[in-house]
Structure 1
Amino acid sequence: MINVLTSIKVPRRNRELLPESLHGAYDSLEKGMLSFHDSIPLPGDPQMIENNYQFLWSAVLLDHPEIFYVGRQFELLKSWNLEIRPHYTISQKEVGTTSADLMREIRRVDKALAVTRDPYRIILSVHDWLASTVVYDEDAPRAFDVTGALLDHKAVCQGISAAASLMLSYAGLSCATCFGKLRQKNDSWHAWNVIDFNGRLGHMDITNDLVSLHRHVSHGHLLMTESVAHRLLSWQGKVDKPIDFDYYRATGTFAHNMNEFVKIAKNMISAGMDDGEIKIPMCYMNEIEGVLPKVFAGFGIEYVYDPELEIFTFKIQ
């Protein structure tokens, strides 16, 4: 039975972080796991592969959240050639049924949350849905893949980021799972997302925004720039074109939604500010126009549209 999730295109970003000499082995491992091969020969330099086989294995699984049926345990066989024997957690027949369950959940969430096709609103919806429905649980039986996050609602960072990658890719956005270390927890291994947002890349760490950690949905790790992410995380390679939200996050004048916009605006007015600015994604513009007269009564307002970031800047005068 065919895995229906293989039609969803997920960026192979972790493949590019591997040495070029391992790309052939990555491609063979990727093809073999998608085809349920019992043993997969790995072409290339045997010594190079043997020294890096765990990174090779992780790169394929992180780039392919739809390969949820492969366990974290495997065998590295050293006969005439190096080859890996994957451990499949369920049968090929069961994959079709589980894939159908996953697609129903993805479509349900997509229909309920993605009320517009605005990229920022889709990212925010997926972030908030996972942050509010998934509990961090290292002992959950499927904690490391999308089934744990989307069907059991119990997962660890790898399962949570894999779910986000799959859901955003289904919605047509380019999102991959990144694997590195968490600086604040003694450099423990960690997984999060890298998202292409209107041609710019941002980091998103939903695990550290979970309701179970903060008692509310936090946006502290939503679309972080590279400079902000580097304070919390470490990884191989370089992510270019960061989203320039640093200033507005630092000053507390970036509104993720209408409630935050009104709250920031009222705080600015009560503080007696003669002028200021608030940034908010353009998808909220129609709603904002309805509340502007009431919130800013007695004030002059100008707003400027930034076509590159698709964000409106409001200036209160």
Structure 2
Amino acid sequence: MKPAPFEHHAPLTVEQAVAVLTEVGHDGKVLAGGQSLIPILNMRLASPAHLVDINRVAGLDTVEVTPDAVRVGALVRHAGLERSESAYAALPLLRQALVNVAHPAIRNRGTTVGSIAHADAAGEMPAILALTDGVVEVAGPTGSREIAWSDFFLGALETSLAAEELAVAVRFGRLPAGTGTAFTEAARRHGDYAMAGVGVTVTVTDGVVSGARASFVSVTDVPSVLDLGPALGGVEPGSGAWASALDDAAEAVRDHVDPEGDIHASADYRRMLVTELTRRVLPQAADRATTAPNAAFDRESAVTTLSSTPNAAFGGEGASDD
């Protein structure tokens, strides 16, 4: 199948992109790569009259590490962020999740910001943005603004991004010292949408858990974060009380998630699956909290520019508000 006819726009600056979006309004979609957007257009589930291709916009292809966050521009591909050593050192959770995103060919063109803007509950990166208390940076006709993750996701494939606004970057918050992370998911085949997935953070202070959180894939309508501190707080990982604490954490996850059944898995199976996945990854994160501490801020490698390969526009994740 082929998309309905549309007019292609290729702005060279953020200001030009915003101007086009302001002019065309809800009749336009932003294209960063298209791994999500183009299939939707081909199946005619959406028929925008205008595509605003931002691949030639300068300055959107950088990964910047600051003392507080990892900032990812709108043209940074999943594979580029996955390979970024500075981003991995600052926030290992990013690579832990990114290796689960679809297949290498898709990661080579799909953009992390586009995946987040697509707001699919089965996507890994919206869950990671939530788990790190991330922020979406937006440019619009009246200027720039920032949207906290909790205000950004409104529903399935729905965000608070206005039609005339462009998501130019996201910031993943860095985690406290002594924090370990882990991510896992279960799919029928590697690269398929996950039937269930979970990312966790565990902070260990003076030998005991001082904080723990989890976020989920494919088992909630919108990204959500569950505080596991009440279950794990004050417990020494590996101690006699650890197994019981893990049971309590798993039960909290079971009560928190609200999955829907489909042809791939029933709601009950997804609930059971994410509960067991959480039980598995929490010990990994607790171990990493003491054996693989976060790297210190390195100003020399703080900014990495990653090629956006502008002429291959139809092969990656669409930075769209689909």
TM-score, with structure 2 as normaliser: 0.27
Highest CA radius of gyration, 1 or 2?
A: 1
TM-score, with structure 1 as normaliser: 0.28
Which structure has the highest helix share of the two?
Answer: 1
The structure, 1 or 2, with the larger RCO (C-alpha pairs under 8 Å, 6+ apart) is 2
